[in-house]
């Protein structure tokens, strides 16, 4: 109802005739007397109201309502989770900066001191994908994905200072990764495996355990989770458990799987020192190999699951076995001194084997194994296989029983020398006779070796991937 000045109505009826107004208006009461020395009200609004900050939503748990949020917590989380990223809004590089309100700016702004540079993230994890075309780096702030040839950073996901990723396992070149929290401030609990879909920028599933997760291996049809003394195998489609394997203490999370479709071969430590266990799921067979007298330090499986390379904590000998029947095919010597073996890698054709250790040298060995020895005939023994290998070296065959193994073992064809002290992992590149080396100091090397003359490898390129930027 509209009203006019005090004592009259908007329809022209005076104060003495308000009761006769056909619109039944009421007189407006006189305004109250002004208060002494009034202070002018400040302009409103001083600045546009800022929306409440939205925290991370853990998949499978309802968001925690905050008192600062005017909106009630939705009962259906599907819409909220689909619309939110695990990256905080302030850290989203694609977020448009808001235009400041002129009314909120001070008249004489004082220059604020320059913010200190953000601390460099600490590298917590390195791993190649299944075909060695990419690698993942878990840091104290998140994770990053890189391409090997040509080298470039593909993308990164930074969760902030409290977003440590201790395991980042890729699935070939697709958008699915397995993440495990790590470092002093983990992004996720170290007892959880989070399945991350980078197209949606969120986790789409998780597996929770009672002990810390040491490593994760992925296939297109399986998820393998390694704990200190247990290996779990899950179906990828519905994440249902398929198999559980007990192992000896395995703090490094040693485990490898083949990548040939339809034929899963899994290798993990056995229940004894120096023993490896090979699971052939297609034929439902289990094979145990006493590979070394000392504890197993590292092993690798060829992509087709036919060859297995092992190294012990002593680190002087590398042995190659037939993964089907367990026979010893080849024995190679890295050196005479003890060393910690960081990684072993077969080439795609299993013609070469690369080894990295704490001695700062990457070795490449030639593998001239007989493909017929990978059949199902288990009649050969390790000693017979060793004799066959040495008999191929005619210069040593006549004194095989006289010379010690130091002289009869085969030595590397090519080498590349690095800085000692930093752990390195190695893989073969897709260009012929090339090797890719990754260091926990952020170094990326791509080298080439001459398969005829051997000797020191030639460095093709070097990068510090922690200082690179996403393309």
Least confident window among 22-36, 95-109, 234-248, 300-314: 95-109
Q: What is the mean pLDDT of residues 271-275?
A: 93
Contacts of 104 (CB under 8 A, 6+ apart): 46, 47
Q: How far apart are the first and last CA of the chain?
A: 64
Count Cβ atoms below 10 Å from residue 163 Cβ, excluding itself.
Answer: 25
**Residue 136 exposed, middle or buried by CB count within 10 Å (0-12, 13-18, 19+):** buried
The residue with greater pLDDT, 26 or 216, is 216
**Residue 270 exposed, middle or buried by CB count within 10 Å (0-12, 13-18, 19+):** buried
3-state secondary structure 277-333: EEEECCCCEEEEEECCCCCEEEEEECCCCCEEEEEECCCCEEEEEECCCCCEEEEEE
Strands 123-128 and 230-235, how do they pair?
unpaired
pLDDT tens for residues 202-221? 888 999 999 999 999 999 99
Task: Work out the widest C-alpha separation in the chain, in whole angstroms.
Answer: 136
Q: Average model confidence (pLDDT) for the chain? A: 75
Least confident window among 170-174, 267-271, 330-334: 330-334
Q: What is the mean pLDDT of residues 169-193?
A: 93
CA-based nearest residue to 267, from 209, 238, 306: 306
Give the pair of three-digit tokens for residue 185.
């401030």
| pLDDT bracket for residue 134 (50, 70, 90) | very high
- The sheet carrying 341-346 orders its strands as 341-346, 352-357, 361-366, 414-417, 455-456
**Residue 284 exposed, middle or buried by CB count within 10 Å (0-12, 13-18, 19+):** exposed
Least confident window among 26-30, 176-180, 316-320: 26-30
Amino acid 386: pLDDT: 38
| pLDDT bracket for residue 132 (50, 70, 90) | very high
Residue 301 above 90 pLDDT?
A: yes
Counting every residue, how long is the chain? 471
Most confident of 53-57, 61-65, 429-433: 429-433
Residue 201 Cα to chain centre, angstroms:
14
C-alpha 125/C-alpha 137 separation (Å) is 6
Contact 181, 165 (CB under 8 A): yes
**Percent over 70 (pLDDT), the chain:** 65
Question: Using the 8-state DSSP alphabet, how is residue 271 labeled?
Answer: S
Residue 352 above 70 pLDDT?
A: yes
Q: What is the mean pLDDT of residues 305-318?
A: 91
- The CB-side HSE value for 454 (13 A sphere, CA atoms) comes to 11
| pLDDT bracket for residue 108 (50, 70, 90) | low
Question: Using the 8-state DSSP alphabet, how is residue 404 labeled?
Answer: -
pLDDT tens for residues 43-52? 333 333 333 3
Question: Using the 8-state DSSP alphabet, how is residue 35 labeled?
Answer: P
Element (H, E) at 384: helix 382-391
Give the pair of three-digit tokens for residue 267.
């290798």
C-alpha 194/C-alpha 187 separation (Å) is 10
Residue 15 above 60 pLDDT?
A: no
Least confident window among 1-10, 85-94, 374-383, 422-431: 85-94
Strands 455-456 and 414-417, how do they pair?
parallel
C-alpha 160/C-alpha 53 separation (Å) is 15
Amino acid 460: pLDDT: 94
């Amino acid at each position: 109802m509209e009203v006019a000045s005090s004592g009259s109505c908007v329809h022209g009826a005076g104060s003495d005739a308000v009761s006769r107004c056909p619109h039944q208006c009421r007189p407006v009461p006189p305004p109250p007397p002004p208060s002494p020395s009034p202070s002018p009200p400040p302009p409103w609004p001083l600045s546009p109201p800022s929306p409440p900050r939205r925290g991370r939503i853990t998949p499978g748990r309802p968001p925690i309502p905050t008192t600062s949020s005017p909106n009630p917590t939705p009962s259906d989380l599907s819409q909220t989770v689909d619309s939110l990223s695990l990256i905080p809004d302030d850290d989203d590089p694609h977020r448009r900066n808001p235009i400041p309100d002129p009314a909120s700016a001070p008249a004489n702004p004082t220059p604020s001191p320059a913010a200190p540079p953000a601390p460099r993230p600490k590298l917590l994890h390195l791993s190649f994908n299944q075909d060695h075309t990419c690698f993942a780096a878990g840091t104290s702030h998140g994770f990053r994905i890189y391409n090997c040839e040509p080298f470039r950073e593909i993308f990164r996901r930074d969760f902030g200072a409290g977003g440590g990723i201790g395991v980042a396992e890729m699935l070939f070149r697709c958008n699915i990764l397995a993440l495990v929290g790590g470092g002093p401030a983990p992004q996720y609990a170290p007892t959880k495996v989070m399945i991350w879909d980078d197209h949606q920028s969120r986790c789409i599933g998780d597996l929770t355990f009672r002990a810390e997760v040491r490593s994760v291996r992925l296939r297109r049809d399986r998820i393998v989770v390694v704990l200190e003394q247990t290996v779990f195998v899950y179906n990828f489609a519905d994440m249902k458990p398929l198999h559980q394997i007990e192992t000896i203490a395995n703090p490094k999370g040693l485990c490898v799987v083949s990548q040939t479709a339809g034929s899963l071969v899994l290798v993990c430590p056995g229940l004894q020192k120096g023993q490896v266990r090979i699971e052939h799921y297609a034929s439902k067979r289990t094979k145990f190999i006493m590979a070394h007298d000392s504890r197993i330090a590292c092993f690798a499986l060829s992509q087709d699951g036919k060859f297995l390379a092992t190294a012990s904590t002593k680190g002087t000998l590398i042995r190659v076995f037939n993964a089907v029947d367990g026979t010893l095919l080849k024995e190679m010597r890295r050196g005479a001194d003890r060393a910690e073996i960081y990684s072993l890698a077969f080439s795609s054709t299993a013609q070469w084997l690369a080894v990295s250790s704490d001695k700062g040298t990457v070795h490449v060995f030639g593998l001239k194994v007989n493909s017929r020895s990978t059949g199902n005939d288990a009649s050969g023994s390790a000693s017979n296989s060793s004799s066959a290998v040495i008999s191929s070296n005619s210069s040593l065959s006549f004194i095989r029983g006289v010379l010690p193994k130091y002289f009869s073992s085969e030595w590397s064809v090519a080498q590349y020398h690095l800085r000692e002290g930093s752990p390195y992992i190695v893989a073969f590149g897709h260009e012929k006779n090339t090797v890719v080396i990754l260091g926990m100091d952020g170094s990326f090397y791509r080298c080439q070796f001459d398969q005829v003359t051997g000797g020191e490898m030639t460095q093709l390129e070097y990068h510090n991937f922690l200082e690179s930027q996403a393309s």
